[in-house]
A and B are shown apart, each in its own frame.
Chain A
Amino acid sequence: MALRVLGLNLIKNNINLLQNACRINATSTTQAPYCNQVTVHAAPAAVQKQKVSKAMKAYLERARENDEFMKTQDLDFQIGKRHLANMMGADPETFTQQDIDDAISYLFPSGLFDKRARPAMKSPDEVFPARKAAEFDETGRPFHSMFYTGKPNFFQLLHDIVEETNKLYDLEERMLRRGNKPDENQKIEMAGFQMLPKDQLEVKLVETIADIEYSNFVSSMERLIASPFSYKSKNFIERYLKPLIDQSKQLEVPKPKIDEQGRQYITTYECLRKTARADVTVRMPGTGKININGKDISYFDVEQCREQLLFPLQFSGLLGKVDVEANVAGGGSSGQSGAIRWGIAMSLRSFVDQEMIESMRLAGLLTRDYRRRERKKFGQEGARRKYTWKKR
């Protein structure tokens, strides 16, 4: 009989129970350091004779139940996986999670929009979140000195951050005395990083934290990073940073095609704005002709809409150097011009350099404007406005 007891603290402090620890579960090494799993054999007679507190007894019982539950779940998962592999005619031994996902989406095609609502088969370790480890020994004494704060892992983290900061302050003082300056080249770049979001920090700590506590974490981390020698504790800091996606390189720029007259052209389909739909073709050596549904720019009688069409062309300096053809339907004039503007800007990416693309992105030309008319709500005058308050 194996007993699943959770907790790194156990290894450190409770030798009684851990004399019999035979092996650390293979999965535990990949998980966060706060929720390691330790497999322990049933307590020997020596331990059983010792006085065990009621809380510890209840905990051991719960841990055993959880362990058994996870075992059955894992068994079910393995069997299910084998069945699925056989159904798909694949080798069950080399059937990966990706194969499972593919098989499920093939066998149970779902029209549900939200991905979380679609049928899925995942390993029980993912489905059932990690439980917190035993925080006290069999006599009921807590292992952690910050147990009574209620959130020992979180406050330990704050403690660690302050310790690191103090270390850096000491270092700074010593370096100042010696006349050494911090290395500017090694400075930590925060541009591409973000502090670990609250929900991910919670998963990491296996504790729920309040908003104000999270802001405390952020401010103390910022103080640590602001130190001129912060690169000395880079390893510690990087554990609590999350890399951001580079927005400018996210979208792939299509290669222009060649038409019959030997001109380069790009067609952007599905240009949306409000309820207008358009597809826009931009041809490279051109004379600045604009063709919208067979008409020229006078298709729009409002000045602002015409200005919108020319905005990306003028911004990229290609006004008069390219021809634009657009088919547009639905919506009003401002929606149509907005749709065409987006289409032109997206197509122009193929004819300008990377710097200009980034510049256009900063100007907000490459973002699709997804905003729609907000519906009127009952009991209200409009989308947001309430009726005038009248006492009676």
Chain B
Amino acid sequence: MSQPPESGTLETTTENPVVGIDQTKGDFQYKMDYEFDAGTGLNENTVRYISSVKKEAPWILDFRLKALKTFLEKPMPTHWATKDLENINFDKIRYYLASGQKPKRTWDEVPDDIKKTFERLGIPEQERKFLAGVEAQFDSEAAYSNIKDLVAKQGVIFANSTEALREHPEIFRKFFGKVIPTGDNKFSALNSAVFSGGSFIYVPPGVKVAQPLQAYFRINAENFGQFERTLIIADEGSEVVYMEGCTAPKFSTSTLHSAVVELVALKGAKIQYITVQNWANNVFNLVTKRGVAHEEAEIKWIDCNIGSRLTMKYPGVVLKGRKARGEVISIALANDGQHQDTGAKMIHAADETTSNIVAKSISVGQGRSTYRGLVHIPKNLKGCKNNTECDALLINTNSRTDTYPAITVRGDRNATQHEASVSKVNEEMIFYMQQRGLTEGQAMSLAVNGFINDLARQFPMEYSVELKRLIDLEMEGSVG
């Protein structure tokens, strides 16, 4: 047993009443005894503890400590973002909980309760069916990580960040923190200080990974903060699809998820990053995601945000090389008590770069959706194109939606196009569907699925089925 850096505040077990059990698949928890626990609250000792448990090289500890300083210095971005951020109590959060540092290669070796958790979430089954590799993170560390032999033989590296820092420092260090610098925002600084877990992927030149790689992020403990760090590098002419899913049980107190995801697509490479998150509705989900696309490379973010108390997430692409392409497809569903503050960033930094943003949000009951978009095309560039579409669907009059598109296009040799719409599911439409025998919940669910249909069709089939199922559950629950 390792000793936590602080005494007195440590909770040795994770007993929690599971409040408000409902049909949500992720809402369950197993009682765990964690071998490694950084205690409650955040200070230099917490960071040193995490680094020492991971047996990190001195440069990483140094990186973390600098990041902690940046985090503490930076104010909350409440001058533009919601005041709800002030309700995060950083002193009450547990920053590192793990049962071990080395993920298992077979499910049989994974401890029973953790294995049961992922079985209930359907991960081993999906792995058998259609995935090239899986990493399953339980609180701070991956409990399981495996890649199919065929893919490994092509030279593809798929590991968690802890392993990758140890085994592939030469690649990791070259790209790490370069796309999203520590000081990008308060939460990227926090992640840089206490990061643990997340995926590291390297795809060698010309290798096209046929099946998706998947990571699943599971929060099990209450008052916990999950800070995974993902870095994906697709070398020249390579292709990879990465998918992530996330769930947490419903706790009476809030939980923090603050990831940093960096993508690098070298010349002619393609990365597709798909997220289907289904957080319990007391999770603060504050994630920074960005990719750099080099010459003729393509980065596509498909981002589905369901659940959480507050999500702030604006996946971005820096279009660094000529003819690079960036795309963000975003779906957000804000139910009662939830705020989905999502959007996209496209930074054009080379000629003939193109970007496409399609954002659809659904607000139900008191739910609130905000779209924030940033498109930047500087004056000196030519032949750049951006297309932005944001559509909002309101279900009942209490819902709220806001759109903040910021498009700066300088010079006259570039083209942008922006369309926005707001529509409502009205009583007549619901009555029409009810008259055909659908319940009110089924009718709303069908209306929502219709609204996102053109986007959902772009997903791998397994994920669009999952998305539809999640929407059905949300809409069934929203009918009084």
- Asked if chains A and B come from one complex, the reply is no
Q: Tell me the B residues contacting A by CB distance below 8 Å.
A: none
Q: Tell me the A residues contacting B by CB distance below 8 Å.
A: none
